[in-house]
Amino acid sequence: MPRPSTPAMAPLPTLPFAPAYPLRTERLDLRPVRHDDFAAIYAYQRRPEVCRYLYWGPHDEAGSRASVADKATRTTLTASGDFLQLAVVHRDTGTLVGDVTFFYTRHEHRQGGIGYVFNPEHAGLGYATEAARALLRLGFEELGLHRIQAELDGRNTASARLLERLGMRREGHLRENEFLDGEWSDEVIYAMLAREWRARQEQPTAP
């Protein structure tokens, strides 16, 4: 019997690749981080509750300045392992509400990842979900990725709910595989495939 045909894939993006900035959503602009974003980013990087489930922080002023300086260089993908780090700015007010990361993990296998950190003073308004959805669109529609995943601390239920709102699937739960803040913690993996993203885009919107 003949083997079933494999759906044609879009060609891999030519590297280096940089999206047309800013990435725009209904309310937000995602643009490269600038050095003058320091005050807004330091305002949440220094907060212990923001860094509780992350691998860094809370930052002092010097640490946050170094972080901002590094983020400002992350604007272009040149190879597997590169990533973009973008400020999330409310378009109408110009307020920086957080920053997001898009990981270009494996070029040949069309793999990517997303991450996000937001100022809790702007929580509950859907900004993180809106910005993360823009990263999924970038990965699937502009870069032609096959799979995008996100990893989080198993205790971070707010982040898990965000990923579920995006339609990402809970794929794995790794027990006590990380040692953070003096204790063992679980890691949870969520992911979405390109065909799942396309199916969600084809769903009719509520009136």
Report if residue 79 sits inside a domain: yes
Instruction: Please give the Cα distance from 111 to 184 (Å, whole number).
Output: 28
Instruction: Please give the Cα distance from 193 to 109 (Å, whole number).
Output: 12
* pLDDT value of position 205: 63
The residue type found at 82 is: D
Report if residue 160 sits inside a domain: yes
Answer for the pair 154, 187: CB distance below 8 angstroms, yes or no.
Answer: yes
Report if residue 8 sits inside a domain: no
* pLDDT value of position 114: 98
Answer for the pair 130, 89: CB distance below 8 angstroms, yes or no.
Answer: no
10-residue stretch averages of pLDDT, the chain, 207 residues long: 55 91 98 98 98 93 98 98 98 98 96 98 97 98 97 96 98 93 93 97 70
**What pTM did the predictor assign?**
0.93
* pLDDT value of position 207: 42
Number of domains in the chain: 1
CA 194, chain centre distance (Å): 16
Report if residue 3 sits inside a domain: no
Say which residue the tokens 């950190």 belong to: 117
Range of the domain at 62: 26-202
Report if residue 90 sits inside a domain: yes
Report if residue 151 sits inside a domain: yes
Answer for the pair 30, 23: CB distance below 8 angstroms, yes or no.
Answer: yes
